[in-house]
Amino acid sequence: MPDRRQPGMDHRLYPYSAITTRPELVWPGKNRLAVWIVLHLEQWELQPPATAIQDARFRGEFGNFFPDYRTYSTREYGNRVGLFRLLEVLDRHKMPVTVAANADLCRARPRLIEECLRRGYEIAAHGDRATRMISSRMSAAQEEDYINTAMAEVRRSSGAERVGWIGQDFGESPRTPQLLAAAGADYLGDWPNDDQPYWLTLDPPLVSLPYHVEWDDSTLMALRQLTAPRYGQMVMTAADRMYQDSGRSGRMMSLGLHPWVIGQPQRIRYLDQILDHLRTIDGLWFATAGAIADCYRSQVDRP
């Protein structure tokens, strides 16, 4: 017979906390909802090594033949064309942006990082390549090297000492949060389990910024095959409800964007509509991930 289930969590990374029982969280200017835009800059491989672990949700998109230039080129469209269409919209709305950048993209496409830095964007580490994610198949030494190399490359290319982590496809092993804390990560943006930041009980402690996978553009349009108009409506509906929920205490909403998805000509107008809608809501704080983590740390003591 299996052991009787004990009260509590299945891990020790953080305790359970109902959002209705927490002290009030206050954003700058007494705003109610913090919004952080996450722009994914990713480098894909035509043929990853046999040992590489990829997100199984996307693996089926590649054909049963090699080389699959069609699927690879769709991703590459984002870095060659879609990104610049996306930047044009973000420039018009003048919003802060957090960039989740692969280490290999920093090395291979420095101009893309320069475009983001010129706009004052924050750069976060996003693993090595879009075709290589962290998994428990890695040894501890391999995972530590993966994390340290990715963070060092982002520090080098961005010139920033403080660097957050948004994992490639949110891949983690049981070791990952502690390795990130030891590597000096400013925050961890992988766990989609809350509408507020929270402390991870690590040594040293690390702030978790929940990333809302539910309305990430690749989740909705590339995987769930929603139309672009339906995607736009879902994001605006989510924002309206989260604003409604934030009357007692500040909440947080992420908006994940991939140039190869939302940067397509038939879809970009719906990002424009989403940002237009968000700007009409009085009481939103548009911020980078680092600024939100700092604000949280200033109000909530470490565990």
Domain ranges of the chain: 25-44+51-299
**Pairing verdict, β 97-101 and 122-125:** parallel
Per-residue model confidence (pLDDT) at position 5: 66
Per-residue model confidence (pLDDT) at position 12: 86
175: phi then psi, degrees, rounded to nearest 5: -85, -20
The mean pLDDT values, 10 residues at a time, for the chain of 303 residues are 68 91 96 98 83 62 70 92 98 97 97 98 96 91 96 97 95 95 97 97 95 95 95 98 97 98 98 98 98 97 86
Residue 235 three-state SS: helix
Candidates 106, 208, 125, 136; CA nearest to 168 is: 125
CATH number listed for the domain at residues 25-44+51-299: 3.20.20.370
Q: What is the pLDDT of residues 191-219, one digit of tens each?
A: 999 999 999 999 999 999 999 999 999 99
Candidates 115, 96, 113, 145; CA nearest to 294 is: 96
Per-residue model confidence (pLDDT) at position 255: 98
Per-residue model confidence (pLDDT) at position 64: 66
Per-residue model confidence (pLDDT) at position 52: 63
pTM given for the model: 0.93
Q: What is the pLDDT of residues 253-265, one digit of tens each?
A: 999 999 999 999 9
Is the distance from CB of 124 to CB of 154 less than 8 angstroms? yes
Percent of the chain scored above 90 by pLDDT?
A: 83
